[in-house]
Every structure is written in structure tokens, then in C-alpha cells.
Amino acid sequence: MKSPPFHGLLVLDKPGGLTSRDAVDRAQRWFPRGTRIGHTGTLDPLATGVLVLCLGSATRLTEYVQQMGKTYRAGLLLGATSDTDDADGTVTPRQDVTPPEATAVTAALGGFLGEIEQVPPAYSAAKVTGRRAYDLARRGDVVALAARRVRIDAIDVLAFAYPRLELEVHCGKGTYIRSLARDLGRRLGCGALIATLRRTRVGPFRPEDAVPLDAPADVARARLRPVAEAVAELPRLDLDAPAVARLRHGQALPLSGIPRAERLPGEADEAAVFDPAGQLAAVATIDRRRACLLPGKVLAG
């Protein structure tokens, strides 16, 4: 008898020492062979914390989970640098540095708030001419990565006693906490690296939502979360069956005929569309120039 397909989201609390791929491989054992599973944001082996997996049809929505805000708790070691920007690399203590005052640390951190240009670590999954940067770095090649625009919403100092600095960082997609530590060390003139790192939030998902990696398969399957949670941060539109059918057939819908469409946030360019049964039917594009809703990612009914 063929096993039923599994669709939805699964939250893990990744332990240290595992790659994100390792965690996915372990989760794969809970589900039938051929079940599509992908993670929504890499955590380094040193890092622990929230790792959201998408299964089945939810794998088409990974980008929306990746775009969700994240919170990290980071333990920094000042007065040293590392080729990987964390304690897993080759650590080089800095000699004859002046320990910064707490006021200098706070002032320096303030310069990283908002939208900033950030260069990913040389040992990262960022690509250089089609190759992963960490593959080139491990081979001994010089890795030159371009700066990327990222967003850091808040940085709170939880504790500071040189050379240890504990931070909580609230940020957007693509932010490297290792790069933040490296760049902070440069600004302070003493060097810095990540000693510990834990992701405590991805959008609405937190460690208490996680399935333990040693859980039995029936427990993991029962903890599968609805596909719709992947688009929890998109504005929601509830449409009647004929309108949903039109979207599924590739047709545009005039915004004037959609209930509560006027309440869509002005900056929104996509919306999550739900059918009369409350099931996610599609992610639609909002075309304000043509005043219509266009089918984007349509899910099977």
C-alpha cells in the first residue's frame, strides 16, 4: 500500500556539530522514500537553533520562509581573528590590542543598524563564478566576494566583559552573523570572531516548536505544520471557489472584484490566496498598474 504524501513545514532545533544537510538527512528517515524535503536557511556546523524544513508542495514556498526575519544569540570573542570568522577555523590571537570600552562597543554596533553592505565570509555558501566560496577557500584559492545589501533591525548587548561579548541580533534575509563579528572587530581595532551562535527565531518559528532529531517517525509526522505557515507574513485574501478556479487556470482577477482588496498594504507585491475551505490555493502577484491579481505560485487543489 502506497504511503500518503506529506506536505507542510517541520521545525528542527539543530544541534552543534551537524551541517544543515545532515539535519535534513536525519529528518528524511521519518518520511517515505521520495518525499521532497528542503531547508530554508543554512546554519553553520558550529551554530544551533531553529531550522525550518519544507516538505512536499511546501518546497515551492521556501523563499517566503527565507525572507522572514530572524533572531540570533551570538557569543563573540574579541582580541582574535579566524579564517572562517568563527571558532571552527584557525584562530589567531591579536597581540598588543587595547580592550575597547563598553561605550565604544555600543557606538560601533550602532553603525551596523539598518540596511548595510556586508561581505559574506570566505568560508560560506555564497557563490563565486558558480562555485561555493567554501570549496574555493578550502582549496587555498583567494576568495573575493562582492558586498551584499542586508538588513539589521536591532542589536542588543546582553553581556560584555572583555574579551567576551554576548549579543542578540534581529535581522533580515542573508545576514551573516560571522561577518558582523568580523566587521565589528575591525571597527574596534581588536579583531573578533563568533565563539557560539544560536538562531532563536525564524519568523513565527521558535525552538519550542521543534521536533527532536531523536523523535520517532509518528511523532515527527504528527508535528508537521500547515503549508500555509510558509506564507504567514504575506497579506491574506480569501476568495470564492470561482475566483480560485480562475487563478488556477492562469487568469487574472480585477482587484475591484476582490473583497477587502483595498486593505492590501500599499507596499505589498504578493498575497496569499485562500479558498473557501481555508486552504492555501496560491501566492498571487499584485499588479497595481493594471489593478489586477495575477497567478504566481498555484498549488494543487
pTM for this predicted structure: 0.91
User: Among 13, 22, 25, 44, which one carries the catalytic annotation?
Assistant: 44
Please enumerate in sequence order all residues whose Cβ is within 8 A of that of 289, keeping only pairs 6 or more positions apart, or say none.
Answer: none
CA distances for 190 relative to 42, 97, 98, 262, angstroms: 28, 6, 7, 53
Task: Please state, as a whole number, how many other Cβ atoms lie within 10 Å of the Cβ of residue 18.
Answer: 19
Answer yes or no: are the C-beta atoms of 54 and 38 closer than 8 Å: yes
User: Residue 276 has which C-alpha cell?
Assistant: 473557501
Q: Say what angle helices 177-188 and 102-110 make with each other, to 10 degrees.
A: 130
The residue written with cell numbers 583567494 in the block is: 142
| Helix/strand/coil for 134 | helix
| Per-residue pLDDT, 137 | 45
Q: Domains for the chain: give ranges and CATH numbers.
A: 8-67+204-230 (3.30.2350.10), 70-199 (3.30.2350.10), 234-298 (2.30.130.10)
List, for residues 53-62, the tens digit of each pLDDT value: 999 999 999 9
Strands 292-298 and 280-287: antiparallel
Dihedral angle sign, alpha carbons of residues 80, 82, 88, 93? negative
List, for residues 159-183, the tens digit of each pLDDT value: 999 999 999 999 999 999 999 999 9
Which residue, 285, 243, 240, is CA-closest to 264? 285
| Per-residue pLDDT, 136 | 43
* Segments of the chain scoring below 50 in pLDDT: 1, 128-129, 133, 136-137, 139, 141
| Per-residue pLDDT, 145 | 77
Pairwise CA distance, residues 242 & 227, whole Å: 22
Pairwise CA distance, residues 101 & 110, whole Å: 15
Pairwise CA distance, residues 253 & 19, whole Å: 44
Answer yes or no: are the C-beta atoms of 271 and 236 closer than 8 Å: yes
| Per-residue pLDDT, 126 | 55
| Per-residue pLDDT, 51 | 97
44 is catalytic: yes
| Helix/strand/coil for 95 | coil
| Per-residue pLDDT, 4 | 67
